[in-house]
Structure 1
Amino acid sequence: MSYEFRSVPRILCEAGALQQVGHVLSGLGAQRVMLVCDPGIVSLGFAASAQQALHAAGCEVTVFDQVVPDPSASVVKQAAAQARAFKVDGVLGLGGGSSLDAAKLVALLVNSEQSLEAMYGTDNALGQRVPLVLMPTTAGTGSEVTWVSVITDEQQCKQVVYSPQLLPDVAVLDPELTLGLPPKVTAATGLDAMVHAIEAYTSRTRKNPIADSLATAALALLGRNLPKVLADGQDVAARTAMLQGSLMAGMAFVNASVAAIHALAYPLGARFHIPHGHANALVMAPIIRFNLAQAQRQYAELAAYLLPDQRFADEATAAEAFVLAIEALVRDSGLETRLSKLQVDEQAIPSMATEVVVGIRRLIDSNPRGMTEQDVAAIYRGIF
């Protein structure tokens, strides 16, 4: 077996860690810092706390707080222009996956003459970024430990930048920032993290033993603690476990690949602005059921981590129990599971299926079972 595994150099996990971000960035040599976030982070007071911590460490700060879900190329360009004007030498991304993805690109674009469009794809980004610290406020995307940034272009299609320069210098986990997450956001982001672990473990293209170990550890943490945080959002220990599970699932998938669940979720986010975690949750159960014929062994292995208290007579029974458990988690999440209730246009299904199979081929190639446009359309129609 041959593979390459990359990871973030430093992880800081501590309740109240937001107060340390100034010293973390100044320790990296940053003096003029851009804080990249969304309006919600401002309204919660997290942006002000981050600014205070940065000022206390002697950093000057400019704030870009206009990140939106599924951030557009124009938003990233606006942030980069503001960063250049301020002569930024460090970036702090604070928020959900959209803010972290935008922050990564800003840190790379600020000193680059390369266009954003030229960076699309794998290993096309040139040059070095400024110091970068990423701090998630949801337990889901794992973006704080990946070298991937996903944005929406002018044609409402997802574009992905894969570049090792996007890995941050430090990922900071502070469970206190997740205590106020609404149950539906908690559910969507938690299921997103579980998808990362499952798709990493069953990947056909870059599966490897390090990613496997991270994926199984993540799935055990997420499966055990998602019901706890949905029942009690103030459970700090469970919130910490969710952040750790999300981070480990992020490390797993970025080194092993995601697959069809993400492929089918992308058009739902880009075209109909369904949040990424919710979009993954919509297609998660039917795709896992679809994959069962080819992924029975892997699903049986994962059952031991998701359902540790159960014993199974054979591989087929274990795999079926795993699929049923995923279906129950989605059903009990409190999320809307029908596309027709989320303003998705049924007439868009054929073109979405084409986009998935043709335009997002790399993810379909990683799926345990091959998929045609007809398969994809059938899954969309099955949840319409």
Structure 2
Amino acid sequence: MSDDFTFHYGPQLVSGIGASANLAPLLPDGPVLFVTDANLRALGLTDAALSGFAGRELAVFDEVQEDPSEASALGAVELGRSIGAKAVIGFGGGSPMDVAKAAAYLLGSGEPIEDIYGVGAATGEGLPLVLVPTTAGTGSEATPISILTVGETSKKGIVAPALYADWAVLDAGLTTGLPRHVTAATGVDAMVHAIEAFTTKRLKNPVSDALAKEALRLLSANIRAACDTPNDLAVRDAMLRGSYLAGVAFANAPCAGVHALAYPLGGHFHVPHGLSNALMLPHVLAHNMPVAREMYAELAVEIAPDLASLGTQARAQCFVEALVSIAADIGLSPKLADVGIEAGHLDLLADEAMKQERLLVNNPVPITREDARRMYEAAL
């Protein structure tokens, strides 16, 4: 870790039960583009937020799907332009928030979307943006990253400080109605963010380390209860806070191999992102162990303080085992075969993983195509 670093804390933050009903004061006057998905709208989760804009012009774009497409972002931009939007709200899981980030930037800058993919290509200024997560998982409300599916299966990232929201609003009351499997998968996604931020090869720093540790402590202590007693608001609040802190951490100290190997599972087989991470996590941790052992040992104490008396090797191994146990306890499938992936798919997955250069460059141990194929095979 270098002694020199820069750190961006991201959006300003509002946290509290019911906070999502009072979004209008966070935005300038003028028409507002509200980006969400049809399911959240049908469930009534958007009602309180929308009612707070009575008397103001507001257009709702709810055509966001899982693994959101470039087309959905462009559709949101088109709707925003039609009302002369002066601000954007992203309300939902990672998909609506990613679409909202891209749309807010494109509406403000006027650039074509093909010019802003990659790291640091978006250098203009977007519209004011408020993000409201409805899952404790992606941390998208805290990051300057938008991941879109281009074409049928290719995922591309827009990564630039201009995509940071002005405000993130954490309202744990929005998360109580999530199905157990969504709570489980998104919670593991957040834990992976914390782990990868702490162990990343590039841009690791003391501030992101502190946030990643606290995030992992909150998430690991509460994820089982969030699945078992979903209406416990104190538990839900702790999960949402942990997810946000992990988001701030990995926005500064970027994700790596677990995400690189997870993305092809979503792009080609539509495996939910959090579950994709859970499936690949133990195998990438094992691959990284020679270099990351001491870091895993340090993180182990955040999950289980009673491990502190053990040696580095034992603590690091217990860390991996504890994560596997958490995934099992909350009901996540442990094998790729459980989500319809077969041996005949391994070459495709390995080829696709190698395209995730933005993530692979951050992994503590290099991952070759042969390494990726071996890890997918181990996950079968």
Equivalent in the alignment of 2:37: 38
Q: Name the SS of the counterpart of 1:42 in structure 2.
A: helix
Instruction: State the distance in 1 between where 2:71 and 2:226 align.
Output: 35
Higher alpha-carbon deviation: 338-347 or 244-253: 338-347
Aligned with 1:329 (options 301, 326, 337): 326
Instruction: State the distance in 1 between where 2:272 and 2:196 align.
Output: 19
Q: 1:250 deviation in Å?
A: 0.4
CA contact (8 A) 1:196 1:250 kept: yes
Instruction: State the distance in 2 between where 1:132 and 1:113 align.
Output: 16
Instruction: Provide, for residues 199-249 of structure 1, a one-character-per-residue CA deviation record: whole Å limited to 9, x for no partner.
Output: 000011110011000000101101111111112001100100000000000
Matched, 1:163 2:160: yes
| Aligned ranges 1:349-364 → 2 under 5 Å | 349-357=346-354, 359-364=355-360
Equivalent in the alignment of 2:106: 109
Higher alpha-carbon deviation: 134-143 or 363-372: 363-372
Higher alpha-carbon deviation: 286-295 or 154-163: 286-295
| Aligned ranges 1:203-242 → 2 under 5 Å | 203-242=200-239
Residue 33 of structure 2 aligns with an amino acid whose one-letter code is M
Q: 1:338 deviation in Å?
A: 2.4
Q: 1:353 deviation in Å?
A: 1.0
Q: 1:348 deviation in Å?
A: 3.1
CA contact (8 A) 2:193 2:247 kept: yes
Matched, 1:195 2:192: yes
Equivalent in the alignment of 1:47: 46
Q: 1:309 deviation in Å?
A: 3.2
Aligned with 2:274 (options 256, 274, 277): 277
Q: Which structure 2 segments of 5+ residues have no match?
A: none
Residue 67 of structure 2 aligns with an amino acid whose one-letter code is D
Instruction: State the distance in 2 between where 1:117 and 1:352 align.
Output: 25
Matched, 1:290 2:296: no
> How much is the aligned-residue C-alpha RMSD, in angstroms?
1.3
Matched, 1:381 2:370: no
Aligned with 1:303 (options 278, 300, 304): 300
CA contact (8 A) 1:30 1:131 kept: no
Aligned with 1:367 (options 363, 367, 372): 363
Equivalent in the alignment of 2:260: 263
Q: 1:356 to 1:30 in 2, by over 3 A?
A: farther
Matched, 1:76 2:78: no
CA contact (8 A) 2:19 2:170 kept: yes
Instruction: State the distance in 2 between where 1:355 and 1:138 align.
Output: 27
Equivalent in the alignment of 2:22: 20
Q: 1:96 deviation in Å?
A: 0.1
Residue 378 of structure 1 aligns with an amino acid whose one-letter code is R
Q: 1:89 deviation in Å?
A: 0.6
Residue 180 of structure 2 aligns with an amino acid whose one-letter code is P
Residue 291 of structure 2 aligns with an amino acid whose one-letter code is Q
Q: 1:345 deviation in Å?
A: 5.2
Equivalent in the alignment of 2:169: 172
CA contact (8 A) 2:21 2:50 kept: no
Q: Name the SS of the counterpart of 2:201 in structure 1.
A: coil
Higher alpha-carbon deviation: 284-293 or 79-88: 284-293
**How many percent identity over aligned positions?**
40
Higher alpha-carbon deviation: 326-335 or 346-355: 346-355
Instruction: State the distance in 1 between where 2:98 and 2:221 align.
Output: 28
Matched, 1:135 2:132: yes
Q: Name the SS of the counterpart of 1:69 in structure 2.
A: coil
* TM-score normalized by the length of structure 2: 0.96
Instruction: Provide, for residues 316-359 of structure 1, a one-character-per-residue CA deviation record: whole Å limited to 9, x for no partner.
Output: 111111111011112222122322232335433213212222x2
Instruction: State the distance in 2 between where 1:309 and 1:39 align.
Output: 45
Q: Name the SS of the counterpart of 1:258 in structure 2.
A: coil
Instruction: State the distance in 1 between where 2:349 and 2:101 align.
Output: 28
CA contact (8 A) 1:84 1:111 kept: no
Instruction: State the distance in 1 between where 2:92 and 2:67 align.
Output: 13
Aligned with 1:67 (options 64, 67, 79): 64
Aligned with 2:12 (options 10, 13, 16): 10
Instruction: State the distance in 1 between where 2:379 and 2:310 align.
Output: 32
Q: How many residue pairs align between the two structures?
A: 378
Instruction: State the distance in 2 between where 1:299 and 1:134 align.
Output: 32
Equivalent in the alignment of 1:154: 151
Instruction: State the distance in 2 between where 1:78 and 1:318 align.
Output: 49
Instruction: Provide, for residues 254-307 of structure 1, a one-character-per-residue CA deviation record: whole Å limited to 9, x for no partner.
Output: 100101000001111111111111111111122112222221100110011111
Q: Name the SS of the counterpart of 1:248 in structure 2.
A: helix
Q: Which structure 1 segments of 5+ residues have no match?
A: none
